[in-house]
Amino acid sequence: MRDTSGSFPTIAIPEDGRFTGGRLKRIERVAWSLPVCALALAVAGLTVIQSASVEMATDFVSRQIVWVGLGVVVMIIGFSVSHTTLLRFAFPLYLAGLAMLGSLLFFGHEAGGARSWFGIAGLGGQPADFMKVASVLMLVRYLCSAENRRLHEREVLIAAAIVGIPAALIALQPDLGSAVMLFPALASLVWLSGLRTKTLAAAFVLVVITGAAAWTFGLKDYQRDRILTFVQPETDPLGRGYQLRQSKIAVGSGELVGKGFMQGTQSQLRFLPVRHTDFVFAVLAEERGFVGVLATLALFLYYLWSCVRVATRGRDGQAILLVIGLASIMGFHIFYNTGMMIGLVPITGIPLPFLSYGGSFTLFCFFSTGVITGVDYRRWVNR
Amino acid sequence: MVVDPQERRRQLVVRTWQLAALGVLLFCAVIVGYWYMQVVRGAYYRELAENNRLREEPIQGPRGLILDRHSRPLVENVPSYHLMLDRSRSAELAESVHFMAKRLDITTKEVEARLESYSAVASFRPILVAEDLSLDQVAGFEAMNLEHPEFEIEVLQRRFYRHGTQLAHVMGYLGEASVDDLARRAGLRPGDLVGARGIERAYDPLLRGVDGARVVVVDHRGKLVEEHGRVAAQPGNDLQLTLDLDLQQEAERFFEGQVGSAIALDPRTGEILAMVSSPSYNPNAFARRLDSREWQAIVDDEHHPLQNRSVQNSYPPGSVYKIVTAIAALEENVVTPDDTYYCSGSTRIHGGRRRCWKRGGHGTVNLRQALQHSCDVFFYHLGPRLEIERIADWSRRLGLGVETGIDLHGEKPGLVPDKEWALRARGTMWYPGETVSVAIGQGPLLVTPLQAAVMVATVANGGDVVTPHLVKDYARPPRRRVQLSPETLAVVRGALQDVVDSGTGRSAAVAGMTVAGKTGTAQVVSQATQIDSADLPYEIRDHAWFASFAPVENAELVVVVFVEHGGHGSSAAAPLAKILYERHFRFLPDDSDT
């Protein structure tokens, strides 16, 4: 595809394609790298889930195939709906998301001490994943209305509130990990919109203070334990440190080329916890080795790179902010999930985009892929 | 300060590249991290994985015991030793096979066949190669542990049913969880044992323990060095049954060599004190893997020993059903206690000739006499006057034609025919002549022995349709009540008492107490001529029924006995009722080995 990042597409290109026909056909306007990467990763994920769940009572592979199928559908929907339409409905979607999160506190399924699931026809869905889309839309809409070169403190605070309210509701479930995952979108979009040095410093101080307050008052014991374990993993090798120790052994023992499909002793002997969801990458690392890790990360990197390219050739501010908002959430998931296996960051329940078993998060990733591809497709059309 | 769109877009693009640079940095950190762990330190972690000394071992949560009403255990958990083989620890697999075959006194071929079935399983996963080792065999493997570290003994608990074939249908047995079980119930893993029949199945969630786990440190031979932390296993709940082992064993003894069913229940509560189905099977045989020959023998048995005849088979009720017809006729005012018919030994109804079982006839009889002597002619006349719908309605009110709600799976509803049934199931209309047959308990009617017991219990307690049950202390759904007038009860109870005092049920009479009962002889094939059943081949001999309760006022025990192809109810079935009443009310010395 031609690089147009340098020039703003001010030339009006008729939608009937006659004018562009000589240069680019319709099908060539689609940034195929995004959906192709997504599907390749999902297929890789299925093989890992199969190996990880072979001993489990539930057939997670078939279920994930259903989710990926649904994912392709929502990806096409995301592609078809213009982002201007999406942004027009940002506020109602955001309110609907808040209502879902609120009602969840009363009606949700209790799973592992947290009420974060709605059961839908036997398959589970987390409104937190829906909220990721809604919050980004709401942020983009708000920040694009601010035409200033750099944001005022007040605007930063309102942006923080847009993310903070749903994050607080999610944290109350309590699912601190998912709540934190909304903030990369806030940080990257506020950064894009421009910050004054003073604001940056103030934000830094605020984060430190709220962090300290949360540590003291807001965290549950197990959450505090996890962070402590992260800082000093050897203090408790059999309790909280167990997961980290086992995932490190799994990853490390994969060595360069891995132990082979279904041959991972860590995975097959059930040392690894939730190995079909959050720890799916450890199974991959054990069975496919560093080569497999590198190949998967390369796919992810290419995917995110494509997102950045779509953003930089975006038609206007809205397009750029929307693409970066969605991509930053996925990018941070990738970084956090792969990082926690080897002890870069504390272990918490964060899935890996496209690879982990999981319903609504898979849908979120595919939908975002569709939206980003759609934004790119429409840059050619002047409306 | 508003900026022009061109300038703003340029800014956004620049800051996007800044973010992208940060992202690349984070990705590099991750890649370097994996490179360090997998390539630089890979050998170290590989060794850790190979000797992963932390092991999570399940601790079996013991299954609850099952006790009789006097708290005598009917089943216990006994240890059973399984031989596990970890092929990855074997120096030479052929040598291991040879060693094992010698120890277990089997051929190497058999061992190899066993290993073959596990060929798809990863070699480091211990596989089950032999079950139920004797203590000598266990000692043999333990003694050679240094030379053959690949073998491990796993101790599991196995169910042992103390009374073997007795109680088998009530207790049931365990089997491996089916695909259906796994899908339906959370927390079950493939290979788990769940109740497959009887109480073991119906109360499986209560009985089963919750497995715990312990994290242990093991050395390179897999031997325990120390234990670090454990989640305790929780034992399952003990269940106290309503069964009385003494009564049960008396009844079981009576049925040795006979086919049929007996039920003793308390008409005040629905508690079942004895429930026998014969022939039986030994549930202990199911505690280990059955070989196909043993299984085939059970399945091929012409008497189907796995079936619980008390609830899973239904039979024509014969004359026992006259109790229902009599109640319906009295309650519907079709007949008064004083109305009489003349029985000459046969009568003409609907153009056909109907015989009474007594060829000489009963003479002039009223309802009470007709019920006492089981006069067919009297009841033939009631049939057309009641019509099938009212008979069917009263049958259902008294608990026939519908499941009793007992706490066992697979209960049959029996069959109470009516006009709608005839159209739906048969595609023909209901013939008036059939109503005449139904009135004496023949025709398409089918009841389970347990339904007969519930029906009799309703007469005994004055109108409560009890929910029969086997487990004490678990709430039963509310009982249904059927309105029976005192006159009806007096006539029916009086007639049934006469049956035992001076009629066909004399062999159930117990000195010193009042017993009420009704014999029944259900025809298996319609007989044109009256031949004594004893002279007929077994398969076409009549079924024998005896349904009874005692004492007549304030009844405490209902006994229903059913003997398949037993001939006459009076001779084949009633004697067991006498035995059970004497045992229950007289507290005869306990000579059973409990």
Which residues touch B219 (CB under 8 Å, ≥6 apart)? Answer: B53, B225
Q: Which residues of A touch B26 (CB under 8 A)?
A: 335
- Given an 8 Å threshold on Cβ–Cβ distance, is A255 in contact with B124? no
Fill in the DSSP letter of residue A232.
S
> Any CB–CB contact under 8 A between B44 and chain A?
yes
Work out the minimum CA distance from B565 to partner chain A, whole angstroms: 47
* Residue in B13, B52, B182 closest to A312 by CB: B13
Interface list for B 168-207 with A (CB within 8 A):
182-183, 188-190
CB atoms within 10 A of CB A231: 8
CB atoms within 10 A of CB B432: 14
Q: Residue A117 belongs to what H/E stretch?
A: strand A114-120
* Cis ω before A174 (30° cut-off from 0): yes
Q: Which residues share a beta bridge with B277?
A: B261
Residues of chain B with pLDDT under 50: 527-530, 589-594
Q: Where are the alpha helices (DSSP H) in chain A?
A: 33-52, 60-80, 83-88, 90-107, 127-145, 153-171, 176-180, 183-193, 197-213, 221-231, 241-253, 265-268, 280-312, 317-341, 359-377
pLDDT of residue A162: 93
Half-sphere exposure (Cβ direction) of B578: Cα atoms closer than 13 Å = 16
Closest alpha carbon within chain B to A252: B38
pLDDT of residue B529: 46
Q: Residue B296 belongs to what H/E stretch?
A: helix B292-300
pLDDT of residue B563: 93
> Any CB–CB contact under 8 A between B28 and chain A?
no
pLDDT of residue A10: 44
Backbone φ and ψ of A125, nearest 5°: -140, 140
Q: Which residues share a beta bridge with B151?
A: B85
- Given an 8 Å threshold on Cβ–Cβ distance, is A312 in contact with B33? no
> In terms of pLDDT, which residue wins out, B430 or A5?
B430
CB atoms within 10 A of CB A151: 20
With bands split at pLDDT 50, 70 and 90, how would you rate the model's confidence at A222?
low
Between chain A and chain B, the number of residue pairs with CB atoms below 8 A apart is 161
With bands split at pLDDT 50, 70 and 90, how would you rate the model's confidence at A7?
very low
- Given an 8 Å threshold on Cβ–Cβ distance, is A248 in contact with B45? yes
pLDDT of residue A45: 92
Interface list for A 299-328 with B (CB within 8 A):
300-301, 304-305, 308, 311-312, 314, 316-317, 320-321, 324, 328
pLDDT of residue A22: 45
Using the predicted structure, report yes or no on whether residue A9 has a pLDDT greater than 50. no
pLDDT of residue B48: 78
* Residue in B9, B35, B50 closest to A317 by CB: B9
Distance CA(A373)–CA(A34), nearest Å, equals: 7
Please say whether the beta carbons of B126 and B84 come within 8 A: yes
Residues B104/B106/B111/B117 CA torsion (nearest 10 deg) = -100
In this prediction, residues A271-286 reach a mean pLDDT of: 81
> Any CB–CB contact under 8 A between B27 and chain A?
yes
Q: Which residues of A touch B29 (CB under 8 A)?
A: 339, 344
Distance CA(A296)–CA(A294), nearest Å, equals: 5
Please tell me chain B's helix, strand, coil percentages from 3-state DSSP, rounded to the nearest 5. Answer: 40, 20, 40
Please say whether the beta carbons of A115 and A105 come within 8 A: yes
With bands split at pLDDT 50, 70 and 90, how would you rate the model's confidence at A270?
low
Testing the interface with B: which of A195, A244, A251, A253 to mutate, by most B Cβ within 10 A?
A253
CB atoms within 10 A of CB B353: 8
Distance CA(A81)–CA(A87), nearest Å, equals: 10
* Integer CA distances (angstroms), B448 to B3, B265, B357, B573, in order: 90, 15, 24, 16
CA-wise closest residue to A350 among A96, A44, A85, A132: A132
CB atoms within 10 A of CB B406: 24
CA-wise closest residue to A379 among A74, A53, A86, A29: A29
Using the predicted structure, report yes or no on whether residue A6 has a pLDDT greater than 60. no
* Residue in A149, A290, A324 closest to B1 by CB: A149
> In terms of pLDDT, which residue wins out, B18 or A23?
B18
With bands split at pLDDT 50, 70 and 90, how would you rate the model's confidence at A112?
very low
Q: Which residues of A touch B43 (CB under 8 A)?
A: 255
* Residue in B52, B125, B229 closest to A249 by CB: B52
Distance CA(A145)–CA(A274), nearest Å, equals: 43
Please say whether the beta carbons of B161 and B75 come within 8 A: yes
* Residue in A192, A268, A331 closest to B23 by CB: A331
Distance CA(A335)–CA(A348), nearest Å, equals: 13
Q: Which residues of B320-333 are buried (b: 16+ CB within 10 A; e: fewer)?
A: bbbbbbbbbbbbbe
Q: Which residues of B touch A299 (CB under 8 A)?
A: none
Distance CA(B39)–CA(B47), nearest Å, equals: 14
Tokens for B566, please give them: 């037993």
- Given an 8 Å threshold on Cβ–Cβ distance, is B122 in contact with A239? no
When mean pLDDT is compared across A93-97, A116-120, B256-260, B297-301, the lowest value belongs to A116-120
Distance CA(A220)–CA(A201), nearest Å, equals: 29
CA-wise closest residue to A33 among A328, A370, A306, A329: A306
Q: Which residues of A touch B30 (CB under 8 A)?
A: 297, 335, 338-339, 342, 344
User: How far, rounded to the nearest angstrom, does the alpha carbon of residue B226 sit from its chain's CA centroid?
Assistant: 44
pLDDT of residue A291: 95
pLDDT of residue B264: 96
Out of A179-183, A217-221, B557-561, give the one with best mean pLDDT. Answer: B557-561
Q: Which residues of A touch B40 (CB under 8 A)?
A: none
Distance CA(B244)–CA(B68), nearest Å, equals: 6
